[in-house]
Chains A and B, each alone.
Chain A
Amino acid sequence: MKKFGITLTLIAAAVLAAYSTDYSQFERPLSDDQKILHALNRLTFGPRPGDVEAVQKMGLKKWMDQQLHPERIVENPLVAERLKPLESLHMSPAEIATNYPPPQVVRAMTSGLLPLPKDQEARQRVELQAQRLRAKQDGKADGQGKQGKGADALQQAMRQQVLAASDPVERRKLVADNAPQQVLPYDLNEAKLYRAIYSNRQLEEQMVDFWFNHFNVFLDKGADRILTSSYEREAIRPHVFGKFRDLLEATAESPAMLFYLDNWQSVSPDRIQEGGRRGLFAKQKAKQARGLNENYARELMELHTLGVDGGYTQNDIVEVARCFTGWSINQPNRGGEFIYNDRVHDKGEKIVLGVKIPAGGGKEDAEKVLDILARHPSTARFISTKLAKKFVADDPPPALIEQMAKTFRDTNGDIRAVMSTMVDSKEFFSEGAFRAKVKTPLELIVSAARATGAQVDFAVPLATQIAQLGEPLYRKVEPTGYSSANSEWVNSAALLARMNFALALAGDRVPGVRVDAGAPDNSVATVARQLLFREPTQQTLDSIEKALAQKEPTPALVAGLVLGSPDFQRR
């Protein structure tokens, strides 16, 4: 038996050597203190003052268990308080379309095709927008507006100062009167940041971020402006620790995804003739010959489930697209809901990854596809790898991925169980993982706000900073979402922007955010320890001390230098 074990080890070592990557760092355990800091860095958006002690007191195991069961954690009342004024977060897409109408809806309302909003304020807003649209049409002068850099950046900075000085209700009215649709990204960005900064259910927020990014949609693609709020709220958030199959179906059926990847337009070419169109737009629609659109089918397999090397062919893409014909949206620009339209569904037989889906089916054809994909071993591996890359290291050890993928397969894609396997593994708490990840822009900025105990009353300026670092929230155009790889975020311009942000934040110069840099008589080492939750590197400490020996060291400057240091860029 023992001999067999040794042989296995030898084989394993040979395999490792053949792949020539050394994963031995992932065998070396961390000290108890390191473990706590590591868990806080990975499973939260960075420790707040007092967090390390709180975990010590509770015990790491119990704390992690709580984070995996967010419903057992008492939420910070600040979250509800900050989210309360952000009304669009709680609205259905139809309510959003009425209250924050896009130009098409404004036109429809003023021409009598749609009713005007009942709410007095919203109605005034529509009238104001209608006037502007008319002026624009007549003048056609400011066609290019928007994209300017210099002057617009200045305007943006001033606008943010003004907005930060207003209270939340007044602020939203200012924004809504000026550009009603602008309220939606503001609310989404603010909510995401308040939760990331203040929520006690930190891992849940990390998971919402992970899964939204995995099933990315782009806020500025047409109707997705009004569909994204409910997408995050109803398709993503309830399932982040649930069954992968449920999450997959929730996204597949969501108007936001159907619109983003064009499936709502995809119909069986054979069935266009039969249907016979009636109604107001029949003529116009008949002119637009419609047909199969493969976009969702492809990304569903490449990005959502199997992964690009997961073993599907172009033919599978076509077959999956055929299964999804008829999965559509009822009037997306007005916030319509998911509909299944059997009249345009491809009724023929399909073969997906070798599995026959018999002719004559309906909506269930696509549900069968989701079944096949969710339980496919490539999916277990692909999702496990992506989680490990996000939470462990850019190049996670294959043994860990296999362990996680096994849990995924054994539990029928239970996400909480996969996460448990990950945080219980020796690899998670290893030297290979410790500080192995460079913070993404979101993680950097939120961790800085948390470490400094910042009071955030208006989060849009922070979101603007995150965008400048290269990660505009809800605005990743490509369905790939953002990469969590270090190489993605370490480059000159972004590094410079990180340092500038650090000085601005600590210097209390970010609108809407208040930071107290601490007592003036604190030593550099003390400030650094408070913000890093560990000893600073000698190089960072020396650099700051040397520089400040000649100048008047203000606490804000020291804090800014620590937050911009190499030490703070890792988690």
Chain B
Amino acid sequence: MTSRRLFLKSSAVAMFGVGSAPAWLSRALYAADSPSPRKKILVAIFQRGAVDGLNMVVPFGEKRYYSLRPNLAIPRPDGTENSAIDLDGFFGLHPALAPLKPIYDAGHMAIVHAVGSPDPTRSHFDAQDYMESGTPGRKATSDGWLNRALAPQESPSPVRAVSLGTALPRSMRGQNEAVAIANLNDFQIKDTRGAGTFESMYENSLDQVLNGAGRETFEAVKLMQSIQGQPYTPAGDVQYPNSPLGQSLMQIARLIKSNVGLEVAFAEMGGWDTHFNEVGARPTVGQLANLLGQFGSALAAFYQDLGDRMADVSVITMSEFGRTARENGSRGTDHGHANVMFAFGGGIRGGKVHGQWPGLEQEQLYEQRDLQLTTDFRDVLGELVVRHLGNSQVASVFPGYELPKFRGIVAG
């Protein structure tokens, strides 16, 4: 602790000279001294490609689930790894998500079922766009919900909003500074002779687009210098999986622990579009099981690594839409409607499957084929924005959706 604080202070002096450190850095230093005024942090994870929520959180108490999915259904809990993990006598976790069960039992993981976007589109592109803009059905929205979720601030940290990856996702775009970082260690001008000159060029450029992006870049570069060069050791014996999501979450954890002013972070995982061979020889193995295995182990590692710090952190997972209730002809599922979301964190009211279950009988299905929506995704995200991030301006975060119905996911 002391060493990091000293390091931060000395790098602040090195960067800005005594007495001229900007406000965000003073805050970071202050935070390193005392945990009390730490900011709340929201981490959003997007499962791109539309995960099959009905196999992620299995409604094993629903008879029709088994008749709709003769080849795909996860068997009812029987205590073996080839069956669902019982949560509440009706829902069960896919067995590949076993690493998450202890978090659920500790009350730090909540599940929302039959949740999603009310827009009927079954286009990945549109549905992701709507979910990320936070305005289903409105294409003209130019910024993303996670960017708007940031409260106005004087002299904000240049890394208050970080996306792991090479491109800034739609969720993060907008007026507030947000950066995309593929790897914290690579975030620098490698040839020191060029750094200052590039900074001056972009800082003075009359090209509005490049000037803005350039300024953000160089502010973030400076801040990263305080982290780079120190090897990162996760807490205890936590091992992050070597998957892209695992590595992304490890870097987010590193940013959080460095107290550099992170408020919102974004990571993603693809490959969920399981039209074909979703399952292998058994319903509990194969493509989806592998993906969920990577997903669950990465999230569990993040939770364990942050330990007590999870008191300040909430993680929310989402996917653009669910998949057909009925399996298709190629051992897979097609584009559907409602889906499932996970929320993790010390402030999450976990150990519970939230939301209203609409049932899977033919007349209960959306357009007679998909899981019906009973919770709007903005109800969940809105609650996190208001009760976790403390931003009460929910109407500007989700324009056109002024009164989200909170489901009690965040402990009040």
* Known A-B contacts A470-B166, A478-B125, A539-B205; A292 and B328 likewise in contact (beta carbons under 8 Å): yes
Of B88-96, B191-199, B340-348, B383-391, the stretch lying at the interface with chain A is B191-199
Determine which of A291, A317, A492 lies in contact with B180 in the assembled complex, contact meaning CB atoms within 8 Å: A492
* Known A-B contacts A148-B242, A537-B206, A543-B201; A492 and B213 likewise in contact (beta carbons under 8 Å): yes
Is B275 within 8 A of A262, CB to CB?
yes
In the assembled complex, how far is the CB of residue A406 from the closest CB belonging to chain B, in whole angstroms?
25
Is A495 within 8 A of B214, CB to CB?
yes
Interface assignment of A372: CB less than 8 Å from any CB of chain B: no
Interface assignment of B141: CB less than 8 Å from any CB of chain A: no
Interface assignment of B361: CB less than 8 Å from any CB of chain A: no
Interface assignment of A293: CB less than 8 Å from any CB of chain B: yes
Is B123 within 8 A of A561, CB to CB?
no
Interface assignment of B148: CB less than 8 Å from any CB of chain A: no
Interface assignment of A289: CB less than 8 Å from any CB of chain B: yes
Is A493 within 8 A of B179, CB to CB?
yes
Contacts of A478 in B (CB 8 A): 48, 124-125
Contacts of A317 in B (CB 8 A): 122
Measured between alpha carbons, how far is A265 from B188 in the docked complex, in Å? 47
In the assembled complex, how far is the CB of residue B214 from the closest CB belonging to chain A, in whole angstroms?
6
* Known A-B contacts A147-B247, A490-B213; A560 and B194 likewise in contact (beta carbons under 8 Å): yes
* Known A-B contacts A262-B276, A477-B270; A298 and B123 likewise in contact (beta carbons under 8 Å): yes
Interface assignment of A333: CB less than 8 Å from any CB of chain B: no
Determine which of A293, A303, A546 lies in contact with B200 in the assembled complex, contact meaning CB atoms within 8 Å: A546
In the assembled complex, how far is the CB of residue B311 from the closest CB belonging to chain A, in whole angstroms?
29
How many residues from B make CB contacts under 8 Å with A? 65
Is B213 within 8 A of A480, CB to CB?
no
* Known A-B contacts A302-B123, A495-B217; A566 and B193 likewise in contact (beta carbons under 8 Å): no
In the assembled complex, how far is the CB of residue B387 from the closest CB belonging to chain A, in whole angstroms?
30
Contacts of B120 in A (CB 8 A): 314
In the assembled complex, how far is the CB of residue B223 from the closest CB belonging to chain A, in whole angstroms?
11
Of all chain B residues, which has the CB nearest A149?
A: B247
Interface assignment of A499: CB less than 8 Å from any CB of chain B: yes
Interface assignment of B62: CB less than 8 Å from any CB of chain A: no
Interface assignment of A104: CB less than 8 Å from any CB of chain B: no
Is A569 within 8 A of B187, CB to CB?
no
Is B275 within 8 A of A543, CB to CB?
no
Interface assignment of A494: CB less than 8 Å from any CB of chain B: yes
Determine which of A289, A438, A490 lies in contact with B329 in the assembled complex, contact meaning CB atoms within 8 Å: A289
Contacts of A564 in B (CB 8 A): 194, 198
Interface assignment of B11: CB less than 8 Å from any CB of chain A: no
Is B180 within 8 A of A566, CB to CB?
no
- Interface bracket on A: 35 or more
Is B123 within 8 A of A294, CB to CB?
no
Interface assignment of B1: CB less than 8 Å from any CB of chain A: no
Contacts of B334 in A (CB 8 A): 293-295
Is B330 within 8 A of A492, CB to CB?
no
Query: Would you give the 0/1 interface string for B311-341, flagging 1 where the beta carbon is closer than 8 Å to chain A?
Result: 0000000000000000011110011000000
Of all chain B residues, which has the CB nearest A542?
A: B204
In the assembled complex, how far is the CB of residue B378 from the closest CB belonging to chain A, in whole angstroms?
22
Interface assignment of B210: CB less than 8 Å from any CB of chain A: yes
Interface assignment of B67: CB less than 8 Å from any CB of chain A: no
Contacts of A288 in B (CB 8 A): 71, 329-331
Contacts of B206 in A (CB 8 A): 537, 539
Contacts of B202 in A (CB 8 A): 495, 566
Contacts of A144 in B (CB 8 A): 241-243
Determine which of B122, B168, B196, B328 lies in contact with A314 in the assembled complex, contact meaning CB atoms within 8 Å: B122
Interface assignment of A353: CB less than 8 Å from any CB of chain B: no
Measured between alpha carbons, how far is A291 from B181 in the docked complex, in Å? 42
Contacts of A8 in B (CB 8 A): none
Interface assignment of A565: CB less than 8 Å from any CB of chain B: yes
In the assembled complex, how far is the CB of residue A22 from the closest CB belonging to chain B, in whole angstroms?
16
* Known A-B contacts A144-B242, A491-B213, A499-B194; A570 and B207 likewise in contact (beta carbons under 8 Å): yes
Contacts of A150 in B (CB 8 A): 185
Of all chain A residues, which has the CB nearest B290?
A: A143
In the assembled complex, how far is the CB of residue B46 from the closest CB belonging to chain A, in whole angstroms?
13
- The 23 sampled A-B contact pairs (Cβ below 8 Å) are A145-B242, A267-B329, A291-B329, A317-B122, A438-B209, A468-B166, A470-B166, A487-B173, A488-B167, A490-B210, A491-B168, A492-B216, A493-B179, A495-B202, A495-B214, A499-B198, A539-B201, A539-B206, A546-B200, A560-B194, A565-B201, A566-B205, A566-B207
